[in-house]
Amino acid sequence: MKRILTGIQPSGKLHWGNYFGAIRNMVDLQEKGEEMFMFIANFHAMTTVRDGATLRQATEDVVLDYLACGIDPAKTVLYRQSDLPEVQELAWYLSCLAPMGLLERCHSYKDKMAHGFDATHGLFAYPVLMAADILIMNADLVPVGKDQKQHLEVTRDLAQKFNNAYGETFKLPDAYIPERVATIPGTDGQKMSKSYRNTIELFEDAKSIKKKVMGIVTDSTPMEAPKEPEGNSIYELYKLFATPEEVAQMAANYRAGGYGYGHAKKELLAAYHRLFDPFRAKREELAKDVDYVRDVLSDGCRRARAAAAPMMEKVRKEVGL
């Protein structure tokens, strides 16, 4: 059995990219009997969210989204990052070994700067905190998108530096990148990301979702002309929701001509509702049971801290504390 760990920032509403890039894969893995840990990365979200009430609400929303989409707290340890103060403690120990050059080379920081984010220490040191999240849980595998793989390499580098300095302490975790999920396009054709404001949220109201789907940017190829489906944003999104047979039919329609992007968008919208309407109903029921959600987080905190305690005891001894 492998121990698998992943987290999602509550820096905004979860979107299609979060579900197909992370949540669906975690549900699949939990059903295979792997040892699962999922956390809401509210420390990380503070690099961009500067309002306490907003962060608190967003954190609660992520918990509801996880549970509605199939995360089972009996099979997966679900916890808030901030409920583990040991994470920040380990981040400091790793910071004392982290070379500046290693962090300066991280492309995520450069990308955020290019998109106008403030150049803060928190954003710069993000990979160190991510390393602490992973290493404190002694994780074997970390599901990451291709754009996050570099941060996992930083985690491995820092673990090795700690081992070299203090003796064998941390295992080197491996990336888990599902082959079936490529970069998920947003409404503008770029990677779907809250940072780019091009997302379609999992549970926003139906009218808003319809407006966003029908507004997905396309080229000017006329309806009657044949079109190449591969690489087209609508088609790539449809592949995430639809059956292989439905995908093949849309591809054939594209190539035959007489099939416009408006037709494809309507099919995409219908496919979304087939998958997510049951999730939406479950989420509405969960939102009415506040005590249950609090109990899930309380139990997740207890189990997460119990898992982290042996590692922290070993680390403190190694560093001389």
Q: How far is CA 144 from CA 21, 160, 175, 303, in A?
A: 8, 20, 6, 23
Q: How far apart are the C-alpha atoms of 314 and 277, rounded to whole Å?
A: 47
- Sign of the C-alpha dihedral computed for residues 153, 158, 164 and 167 taken in this order: negative
Instruction: Tell me if 48 sits within 8 A of 108, measured CB to CB.
Output: no
**Cβ pair 259, 253 in contact under 8 A:** yes
Q: What Å distances lie between residue 238 and 10, 125, 150, 166, CA to CA? A: 26, 37, 29, 50
Q: Which among 146, 108, 167, 154 is positioned nearest to 128, based on CA atoms?
A: 154
Name the packing angle between helices 149-166 and 107-114 (round to 10°): 140
Residue 195: count other Cβ atoms within 10 Å of its Cβ. Answer: 17
User: Residues with catalytic annotation?
Assistant: 112, 191, 194
**Greatest pairwise CA separation for the chain in angstroms:** 73
Measured distance CA(173)–CA(275) in Å, rounded: 33
